[in-house]
C-alpha cells in the first residue's frame, strides 16, 4: 500500500468518526426532556373543563339577566311604547280612510249637481227660444 | 391522507383497551416525547407546554380512533409535528436561517453542555421541515421511512433534508465551537 493510499484510508476513517461523533452529539443535544411538573394534572384539568357542559351555564346566565329589575322595567316600557304607537297608527289610518270616503261622496254630489244645472239651463234656453218665436209670430 | 402506521408494529391492543385505560397514564407515558418535540422545535418552554397540552386534548377527543399503542405513538408524533408548524406559521416569528444565525465567540475549549446548547440553537434555527426531520431522527430515533410517513413527505426529501441539515450543522458547529472532538 502506497503512502497516498494510507492517507486516504486515514481520511475516510476520520470522516466516519466525524459523522458518528456528530450523530452522538445530536442525539445528546436532542434527547428527550422531562415535561414540566404537574403537566399531566394540567392536561386532565383542561380535559375536565372541556367535558363539563357549557350550555346550562349559558342558559342560567340568560335567566339571571332577565330577572334583573332594570331589565324587567325596560321590557315593560318597551311593551307600553309599542302599544301606544300601534293605537296611534291605527287611528291615523282610520281617519285617513274616512276622509277619503267623504271626499268620494262630495265628488259624486258635485257631479250630480252639475248635471242638474245643465238640464235646467237647457230648459231655460228652450223656453226663451219659444217665447221669442211666439213674439215674432204675433208681430 | 390515509395514515400509514410504521412497520415496527409490536403489541397490538384493542380499541376498548385504549378507551378503558387511564388517560392520565397515557399522558404520563407520552408527555416527555410530545413536550420534547415541541421544545426542540419552538425553543420556548411555555409555548412547548401549551402546544403539548393541546396535542393531548386532541388525543383525548380521538382516543376511540386509535387502534394500538404504536398507532397512538405515530398519531402523537404526527399531530405534534403538524401543530408545531402551524404554531410557527401563526406566530410568524423572525425567521433566522442557519446561514444568518449569529456566531458565538468561539472559545478555545468547549465543554459538552456548550456543544449541546449550541447544537440545540442551530437545530432551532433550521427551516421548519428540516428541523422536524432532524428532531424526529435524533430525539425519537426514527427511521427515515417512518419520518416520511409522519410528515407525509417523500422518502427522498426526508433523506435530502437530513443530509443537508447535518452538513450545515457540522459546518456551523465546527466554525462556532472550534476544534473539538465531536
CA distance linking residue A28 with residue B34, whole number of Å? 17
How many angstroms separate the CA atoms of B107 and B89, rounded?
A: 35
Q: If you measure CA to CA, which chain B residue comes closest to A48?
A: B57
Q: Is residue B164 part of a domain?
A: yes
Instruction: Examine the fold and report which residue of B48, B73, B93 is the final residue of a domain before the chain moves on.
Output: B93
With beta carbons under 8 A apart, name residues in chain A contacting B53.
39, 42-43, 46
Is the pLDDT higher at B20 or at A47?
A47
Kindly list the residues from chain A whose CB atom is less than 8 angstroms away from the CB atom of residue B57: 43, 46-47, 50
Judged by CB atoms closer than 8 Å, whether chains meet at A43 and B57 is answered as yes
Residue B2 covered by a domain: no
**B87 with B112, same domain?**
no
Q: Which residues numbered 26-65 in A keep a CB inside 8 Å of some CB on B?
A: 26-36, 39-40, 42-44, 46-47, 50
Note whether residue B54 is domain-resident: yes
Provide the residue range defining the domain that includes B130: 102-182
The ipTM value here is: 0.73
Residue B7 domain flag: no
**pTM of the entire predicted model:** 0.58
Distance between B152 CA and the closest CA of chain A, angstroms: 22
Task: Pick the more confident residue, B94 or A114.
Answer: A114
pLDDT in tens, A77-97: 999 999 999 999 999 999 999
3-state DSSP assignment of residue B151: helix
Write out residues in chain B with pLDDT < 70, as ranges.
Answer: 1-21, 92-111, 177-182
Q: Which cell goes with A124?
A: 231655460
Question: What is the pLDDT, as a whole number, of residue B16?
Answer: 45
- Please indicate, yes or no, whether residues B33 and B85 belong to a single structural domain of this protein: yes
- My answer on whether B128 and B174 are in the same domain is yes
Pair (B108, B179) in one structural domain = yes
Give the total number of structural domains in chain B: 2
Amino acid at each position: 500500500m502506497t503512502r497516498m493510499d494510507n492517507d486516504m484510508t486515514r481520511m475516510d476513517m476520520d470522516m466516519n468518526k466525524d459523522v458518528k461523533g456528530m450523530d452522538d452529539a445530536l442525539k445528546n443535544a436532542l434527547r428527550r426532556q422531562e415535561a414540566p411538573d404537574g403537566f399531566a394534572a394540567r392536561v386532565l384539568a383542561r380535559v375536565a373543563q372541556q367535558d363539563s357542559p357549557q350550555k346550562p351555564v349559558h342558559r342560567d346566565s340568560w335567566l339571571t339577566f332577565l330577572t334583573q329589575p332594570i331589565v324587567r322595567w325596560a321590557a315593560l316600557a318597551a311593551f307600553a311604547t309599542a302599544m301606544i304607537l300601534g293605537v296611534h297608527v291605527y287611528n291615523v289610518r282610520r281617519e285617513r280612510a274616512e276622509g277619503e270616503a267623504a271626499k268620494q261622496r262630495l265628488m259624486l254630489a258635485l257631479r250630480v249637481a252639475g248635471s242638474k244645472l245643465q238640464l235646467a239651463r237647457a230648459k231655460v234656453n228652450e223656453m226663451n227660444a219659444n217665447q221669442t218665436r211666439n213674439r215674432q209670430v204675433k208681430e | 391522507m390515509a395514515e400509514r402506521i410504521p412497520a415496527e408494529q409490536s403489541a397490538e391492543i384493542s380499541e376498548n383497551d385504549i378507551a378503558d385505560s387511564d388517560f392520565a397514564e397515557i399522558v404520563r407515558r407520552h408527555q416527555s416525547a410530545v413536550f420534547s418535540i415541541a421544545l426542540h422545535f419552538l425553543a420556548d418552554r411555555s409555548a412547548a407546554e401549551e402546544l403539548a397540552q393541546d396535542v393531548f386534548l386532541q388525543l383525548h377527543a380521538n382516543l376511540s380512533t386509535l387502534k394500538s399503542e404504536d398507532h397512538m405513538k405515530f398519531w402523537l408524533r404526527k399531530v405534534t409535528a403538524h401543530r408545531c408548524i402551524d404554531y410557527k406559521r401563526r406566530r410568524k416569528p423572525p425567521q433566522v436561517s442557519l446561514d444568518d444565525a449569529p456566531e458565538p465567540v468561539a472559545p478555545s475549549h468547549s465543554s459538552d453542555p456548550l456543544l449541546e446548547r449550541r447544537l440545540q440553537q442551530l437545530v432551532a434555527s433550521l427551516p421548519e421541515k428540516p428541523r422536524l426531520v432532524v428532531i424526529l431522527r435524533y430525539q425519537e430515533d426514527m427511521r427515515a421511512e417512518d419520518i416520511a410517513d409522519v410528515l407525509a413527505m417523500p422518502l427522498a426529501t426526508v433523506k435530502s433534508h437530513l443530509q443537508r441539515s447535518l452538513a450545515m450543522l457540522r459546518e456551523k458547529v465546527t466554525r462556532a465551537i472550534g476544534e473539538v472532538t465531536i
